[in-house]
Amino acid sequence: MTKGKFITVEGIEGVGKTTNIDFIRKKIDAAGFGCEVTREPGGTPMAEEIRNTLLNNRTEFVCEETELLLMFASRAQHLKQFILPKLSHGDWIVCDRFTDATYAYQGYGRGQSLANIALLENMVQSTFRPDCTILLDAPVEIGLQRAKKRGELDRFEKENIAFFSRVRDGYLELAAKNPHRYRIVDATGAIEEVQQQLSLVIDALIGTP
């Protein structure tokens, strides 16, 4: 059986990851591949418990190293319990955020060492990397306006514009460093316009062995 493809969807909050992932899944399904949708942090019962620990609002100060290590603890569980077995079974996986989010948020956003993140990435993933990373990109003000419409904000969503600007710039730098893997989609326009661009990206992936 051919190994499935691992597609990650990234971007700042509110750019439309959740909205567009179902569209991507339907296109892959229509091409005749099994497709699973998952997310990070989370994706298995234990990893979802770690997600709650990470996202819950709390009065206790959260140490940056604790946040970074919990992201990778959740990822290790998700990768070994869910992602790798599904891919070897031939399924495609669309994942709402993965390790690029750690570089963007904990690295560029919080200022944690990118070299330490790379060490943890190699420890948890060895050489495993996404086949394609779709970066939904929009100005921070647009993303935050859309995210706020949804109601109560989690611990990350309460960060300020300067933080999200660093995260967005970080993603764009990661995309520039990894052009073979990244596809940037302009997420500023209407949903139909965004999905036209996504169609081209997914069609190209489906057509690639």
Binding site for ligand Z5A (CB under 6 A): 11, 13-19, 39-41, 55, 71, 96-97, 101-102, 105-106, 146-147, 149-150, 154, 156-157, 187, 190-191, 194
Residue closer to ligand Z5A by CB (options 12, 35) is 12
Cα–Cα distance for residue pair 175/130, rounded to 1 Å? 13
Residue closer to ligand Z5A by CB (options 49, 157) is 157
Q: Which of 89, 104, 86 is nearest to 44 (CA)?
A: 86
Residue closer to ligand Z5A by CB (options 156, 209) is 156
Residue closer to ligand Z5A by CB (options 24, 71) is 71
Supply the minimum distance, in Å, between the C-beta of residue 201 and ligand Z5A.
16
Supply the minimum distance, in Å, between the C-beta of residue 146 and ligand Z5A.
3
Query: What dihedral angle (degrees, nearest 10) is formed by the CA atoms of 18, 72, 29, 133?
Result: 80
Supply the minimum distance, in Å, between the C-beta of residue 180 and ligand Z5A.
21
Residue closer to ligand Z5A by CB (options 150, 177) is 150
Supply the minimum distance, in Å, between the C-beta of residue 32 and ligand Z5A.
26
Supply the minimum distance, in Å, between the C-beta of residue 24 and ligand Z5A.
12
Residue closer to ligand Z5A by CB (options 48, 154) is 154
Q: Which residues make Cβ contacts (< 8 Å) with residue 93, sequence separation at least 6?
A: 4, 5, 6, 7, 35, 36, 37, 38, 83, 86, 87
Cα–Cα distance for residue pair 128/48, rounded to 1 Å? 22
Supply the minimum distance, in Å, between the C-beta of residue 2 and ligand Z5A.
27
**Count of CB atoms situated within 10 Å of the CB of 53:** 16
CA 194 to chain centroid, in Å, comes to 17
Looking from the CA of 76 toward its CB, the CA atoms found within 13 Å total 13
Return the bridge partners of 93, or none: 6, 36
Q: At what angle do helices 64-78 and 114-125 cross, to 10 degrees?
A: 20
